[in-house]
Amino acid sequence: MKLITLLRNALLAAVETVAVAIVLTGLAPVTVTAGELVVGQVAALSGPLAPTGSQMRAGVQLYFDAVNAEGGIHGAKLRLVSKDDGYKADETVRLARELLKESQPVAFIGFVGTGNVEAMLDQKVLSEAGIPLLAVRSGAASLVRRNDPLLFMTRASYAEEVAKIVDQYVTTGTTHFAILFQDDAFGRDALVSAETAIGSAGGSLVAKGSYAKNTTDVGAAVKTIAAAKPQAVIMLANTAASAEFLKQSRAAGNFAQYVALSVTDAAQVVKAIGAEQAEGLVLTQVVPDPNGRSVPLIREIQDNFAKFAPKDVSVNQTFVEGYLGAKVLGEGLRRAGPNPSRKKLREALETMKSYDAGGVFISFAANRHTGSRFVDITIVNRSGKLLR
């Protein structure tokens, strides 16, 4: 009996020692379960960009729901874990590291913001964990140029969006442009692309105005740009700021043509300022029309949306971006095989050459991680709907 007691005490002491070691090394118990693949998202789920982060999340989740209903990928169910960074880059880094420790995701997906993604790269969050990040809500040239081995972009670049805008307008005789830009990594990056495109097309930049990130303080920019009387104004801005700028510009009597990048959501602009003031707003898009049925990807999304009925969301372009990114991830996981490591997933993604995601084609390679060049142009009509 005495021997049994001694053995029991020794075993308890050993368990306590291991527990202390776990705490000291920061290796908290993880929430991963057998037969499950965790995917992490850190994005704006509150603040001015909450609709963007939430729609990205909803699109990813719909794909996961559809795949899981069919038994998962190689028998493993997909689980999305999301955290809210409020569109603040330092929070993106902190929460990503927290998520890595808590849930050990095989991949990250659906992060929002150029500066937020740049912070992840600068702070070496991806490289230290060896974890791929897919489908970020940014098309910044700075990210394209970095060609980080762990960053996989599933949308066209801002430079390609701006080039499409300028080419479209110059061919119809528009030569005098103004630019509204968000004063951060996203806006300044897109501004350089816009200035280059305007100059190359023989146009002139007659004015530019900025506003601070995470605000809608566009009053000064409205006055500066209205005074220059441009023919067209390119808005390198997020939805809330684009809506406020358009409303104030109309009130100021500036009836130029207004064009926004795909980061502005038309439905939210209409909701914010009304169809009458939003009418005529032109927007680039980096995914097909979510209301059509001619593209297989959109039919798939619509059918799954009807089947799984997500709450409090609708299918818009941002939702489609999230779903498309998740579908690319799913294909990568299939190619990586059962029990995929982060390294195997990265290598599998780089094998994608003209992968058909349903009428939208994605191509990656070791030296090219910008997978799509799809850009379309749409316009808000009198009833607040988007037309091609």
Q: What is the CATH number for 121?
A: 3.40.50.2300
224 and 267 both lie in a single domain: yes
116 and 195 both lie in a single domain: no
52 and 150 both lie in a single domain: yes
- Average pLDDT per run of 10 along the chain, which is 388 residues long? 43 38 34 76 94 96 98 97 97 98 97 96 98 96 93 95 94 95 94 95 96 95 96 96 96 93 93 94 95 94 95 93 98 97 97 95 94 94 89
251 and 343 both lie in a single domain: no
- pTM to 2 decimal places: 0.85
Element (H, E) at 307: helix 296-308
Tell me how many domains the chain contains: 2
Instruction: Give whole-number Cα distances, 136 to 58, 112, 184, in Å.
Output: 14, 6, 17
171 and 280 both lie in a single domain: yes
Instruction: Specify the amino acid at residue 53.
Output: G
pLDDT of residue 388: 78
DSSP secondary structure letters along 21-80: HHHHHT-PPP---TTEEEEEEEE--SSTTHHHHHHHHHHHHHHHHHHHHTT-BTTBEEEE
Residue 67 structural domain = 36-155+294-362
Burial letters 204-240, b for 16+ CB under 10 A, else e: ebbbbbbbebbebebeebbeebbebebbbbbbbbbbb
Report yes or no on 1 lying in a domain.
no
131 and 214 both lie in a single domain: no
3-state SS assignment for residue 236: strand
pLDDT of residue 305: 97
- Strands 176-183 and 204-212, by their bridges, are parallel
165 and 202 both lie in a single domain: yes
Report yes or no on 28 lying in a domain.
no
Report yes or no on 374 lying in a domain.
no
